Amino acid sequence: MPRFSHTAPIDPLAMWSAGLQVGFLLAESQAVIAMRLWGMAGLWSVSPGENNRMVDEKLRAAQNAGAATFKAIASGQSPDRIASAAIRPFRKATRANHRRLTKRGPKAW
């Protein structure tokens, strides 16, 4: 099998870091999902447009991730950098959502 000289080498620690970012993404996503479901049930304080925001931000994050991944692949980045580029937009969105929803807190009656 021919080797491509333009492909960057793989850094095992960088791949581990990308995996760790996926772990953070999963934890924050679960917390955001829970707070939004509690909001739909009237138990968490959420803004009236939260459901629309939920859909819009997923589309935006997917577009940004696709563009970043394509750019990393096209520029010959290493697999760890490609993975990080793909994860970064989703991680940015979940981190922001987690912070925002946590600040709002449970609904007080």
* Domain residue ranges of the chain, discontinuous segments joined by +: 49-103
8-state DSSP, 38: H
pLDDT tens column, 47-72 = 999 999 999 999 999 999 999 999 99
Q: Which amino acid is at 55?
A: V
pLDDT surpassing 80 at residue 5: no
8-state DSSP, 10: P
pLDDT surpassing 80 at residue 89: yes
pLDDT surpassing 60 at residue 1: no
pLDDT tens column, 68-88 = 999 999 999 998 999 999 999
Listed residue (103, 98, 102, 89) closest to 28, CA to CA: 98
pLDDT surpassing 90 at residue 7: no
Q: What are all long-range contacts of 36-41, with beta carbons under 8 Å and residues at least 24 apart?
A: 36/101, 38/106, 39/101, 39/107
- Can you tell me which residue has the tokens 């697999």? 79
